[in-house]
Each structure stands twice: as C-alpha cells, then as structure tokens.
C-alpha cells in the first residue's frame, strides 16, 4: 500500500483537472497514469488490452483504491483489462483533455 508522503489520503483524483491533481499531490506525473502504465507495461502482450473491457466492479474497486491512497496494483490486481479500463476512465473524466483545448491549433499544426 502506498500513500502520500505525509501518510494522508490525496485529494480527489478522478474528475479533477490534471493541473489541480499534480499541484495538490506535488507530482510531475499523475499517480493514476504512472501506476496503470507501469502495470500495463508488464502485461503488454495481453490480447485486446484497451479493447476488451475489464470487470466493472474491478474498475470501481481500483478507482476507489486510488481515491483512498492505495496505488500499488501489483498485489491487488489480476486483470490487466480492469487496469486499462481504470486508466481510460481517468482520462475520460479529465475536465480538459491531455491535448488541451487551448493548444488545439498548435496540435493540428504539429499533426501536419
């Protein structure tokens, strides 16, 4: 089990802006993104990793774990599809996408 450095529970993670989450947690990378990606890198050979949905109850349990400060997925998770679903849920619930609205035109130029 991993908690914030002062052993208190971090503020809400899902549904808040990435900037707010990073500022309040004093991190450079979201704990949800970092933890899920680290887990998924070990399961990259899993077929349909982001296509096949994980168990809804497992995704809810993982989200709840993140919200209460439990970030270690290695001992608690057996279904990489649930971890992928949790990551997708986190990204979907961001109020602003990672490729921000403010930089939309810059992203379009970079894509050309």
**7 within a domain of the structure (yes/no):** no
Query: CA–CA separation, 91 vs 77, rounded Å?
Result: 20
Q: Assess whether pLDDT exceeds 50 at residue 73.
A: yes
Strand spans (E) along 1-112: none
Residue 29 within any structural domain of the chain:
yes
Number of domains comprising the chain:
1
Structure token pair of residue 19 = 């900037």
Structure tokens at 55: 């168990």
Domain hosting 50: range is 18-111
CATH number at residue 101: 1.10.555.10
Q: What is the pTM of this model?
A: 0.80
The secondary structure of the chain in percent helix, strand, coil, rounded to multiples of 5, reads 50, 0, 50
Q: Is residue 102 part of a domain?
A: yes
pLDDT, tens only, 35-71: 999 999 988 888 898 999 999 999 999 999 888 887 7
Give 5-44 pLDDT, tens digit per residue: 444 545 688 999 998 989 888 999 999 999 999 999 988 8
């Amino acid at each position: 089990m991993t908690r914030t450095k002062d052993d208190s529970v971090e503020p809400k993670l899902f549904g808040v802006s990435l900037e707010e989450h990073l500022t309040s947690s004093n991190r450079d990378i979201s704990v949800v993104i970092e933890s899920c990606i680290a887990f998924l890198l070990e399961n990259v050979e899993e077929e349909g990793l982001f296509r096949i949905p994980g168990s809804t109850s497992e995704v809810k349990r993982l989200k709840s774990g993140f919200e209460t400060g439990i970030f270690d997925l290695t001992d608690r998770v057996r279904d990489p599809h649930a971890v992928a679903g949790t990551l997708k849920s986190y990204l979907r619930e961001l109020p602003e996408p990672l490729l921000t609205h403010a930089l939309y035109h810059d992203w379009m130029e970079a894509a050309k």
